[in-house]
Amino acid sequence: MPKASVRMAYAYDRLRAYPPEVAGRIATAIGNALGMRGEEAVLLELGVGTGRIALPLIARGYRYLALDKDPAMLEVFRQKVAGVMRKVRLIEADARAIPLPDESVHGVIVVHLWHLLPDWPKALAEALRVLKPGGVLLEGWDEMEAEEERLIQERWRSLVEAEGVGVVRGLHRKRLEEVEEALKRLGLRPKTKQVVQWREERTLRQALEALEERLYSFTQLVPEEVHERIMPGLWAWAQGEFGDLDRSFTLERSFTLRATRMA
C-alpha cells in the first residue's frame, strides 16, 4: 500500500472527524429516515472512508457493508471496528460495480462520494439496484465555513494558478443537484434536512495540513510536482500573515441529510 495513501487516510480521519455528540445526532437522523432499528436493517455505505458515519450506526446494532475502493481507507476503518467486526463486512470494490445482489439492503449511505465520480450515474444506478423495495438512499454532506480557511484557500488557489494550473471549485454542490434531478426524473421524492450545526476550534496549522494532505477534492487534480512546489510558499505566507500557526479559529460546521425512499 503506498505510504502517501495511508498518511492521507489518517489525516482524513483526524481532520474530518465529528465530535461524538454530532456523530450520534447524524446516526439518529439516519435511523429515523430509514425507519428501522439496528437489528432489523442491513446498511451499505459507498465510499465508507475511515468510518466516521459508519461507527455510530454499527454501535446501534445495524449490520454494515462497508465498501471502499481504497485499501488504505479500509485498513484504518478495519482497525476501528476490530471489536465489533461480526456486524461488519468490508468490501474493497468500486461503487460503480457493487458486488451484491439486486434488492439486498435496506439503506445505502453515500457521503462525499458523488463529486469524485465523473460517471456518477453508474454508481447511482448501482445504489438503486441493490436497495430493497421501500429501502432508502441516504446521502449526506458537510459544510464548513471560516474566514481564516477562506483566506488560506484563496492564497493556495492563487499560487496554483500562478503555476498555470486551473482550479475547479463548487463541483460537490453541483453534483448533489445533478443527483437530485436524476432521482426526481425517476419519479422519486428526495427529502433534504439539515441535521446538526456546530462550532469547532481549528488551528491555522490544521487548515494548512488539510491542504498539504490534499483532503479537499478541489486540491486533488493539481499535479504532484506543482503541489510540492507551492506548499512551502503557502506555509511561509501563512507564517508571515498570521504569525502563530498554532492560534485557533472557529469553524462553523453543519451536516445535511437527503433521504429518498424507493417505491
Answer for which of 91, 116, 167, 182 binds ligand SAM (CB under 6 A) is 116
Task: Let me know: does 204 contact 246? Beta carbons within 8 Å.
Answer: yes
Site string (13-32) toward ligand SAM, x via CB under 6 A:
---x----------------
> How far apart, in whole angstroms, are the C-alpha atoms of residue 231 and residue 213?
10
Residue type present at position 118:
P
Nearer to ligand SAM, 53 or 81 (CB): 53
Site string (47-66) toward ligand SAM, x via CB under 6 A:
xxx--xx-------------
The Cα angle at residue 113 between residues 110 and 116, in degrees rounded to 5:
160
For residue 76, state whether it binds ligand SAM (rule: CB under 6 A).
no
CB neighbourhood size of 125 (10 A): 13
Nearer to ligand SAM, 113 or 259 (CB): 113
In this chain, which stretch among 44-52, 130-138, 177-185, 255-263 interacts with ligand SAM, using CB under 6 A?
44-52
The residue whose Cβ lies closest to ligand SAM is 49
String of DSSP letters for 66-116? EEES-HHHHHHHHHHTGGGGGGEEEEE--TTS--S-TT-EEEEEEES-GGG
Q: Which residues bind ligand SAM (CB under 6 A)?
A: 16, 46-49, 52-53, 68-70, 73, 94-96, 111-113, 116-117
